[in-house]
Amino acid sequence: MTQSTADIEKSYKKFIKTIVETNKVWGLAKDDTWATSSSAEFEDTEVILFWSDQAGAKACAEDDWADYTPESITVVEFLENWCVGMYSDALLVGANWTSDLSGKEVEPLEVALDVVQELKAQDKTLEFTQYDSQQEFEEQVIEALEGEE
């Protein structure tokens, strides 16, 4: 059973809030490969799947991903390496998808901006490795998104 639009949005908001609280983002990995799916919304577009907890990732480790295992990364690694890299590669983030492979597909820089907004809401500041500050990261993400318009 696929989720309703409201449930998908609620699940996405939970994803953002939880990863900021725990400083962990989960994926399904096998060797150096992470679980991906074809976009339901955009033709010829891949979605890399991420979850806010290990249980969500583990629930999807079946069928094609039966031999994949849940693996976590830090939020900084997710933002700097994954979101920025996925943006460059024109990939989408699949956040907290269910085992029937339904969930929100989001532009990676939009996810990054949502995470930064949630960091501010929770009064948290992350130490970035490739940017001078969280603020610089946010400014560059906004600039890149504005450049698309």
Please state which of the ranges 8-12, 69-73, 97-101, 116-120 shows the lowest mean pLDDT. 97-101
Write the pLDDT tens digit of every residue in 60-111: 999 889 999 999 999 999 999 999 999 999 999 999 998 888 899 999 999 9
Q: What is the mean pLDDT of residues 37-54?
A: 94
Tokens of 18: 């939880």
Q: What are phi and psi of 33, to 5 degrees?
A: -105, 135
Q: Which residue has the tokens 């962990």?
A: 24
User: Which pLDDT score is estimated for 99?
Assistant: 86
In this structure, what token pair is assigned to residue 4? 């309703």
Q: What is the pLDDT of residue 58?
A: 95
Backbone angles phi, psi at 65, to 5 degrees: -110, 20
pLDDT of residue 149: 66
Q: In what order do the strands lie in the sheet with 25-30?
A: 33-34, 25-30, 69-73
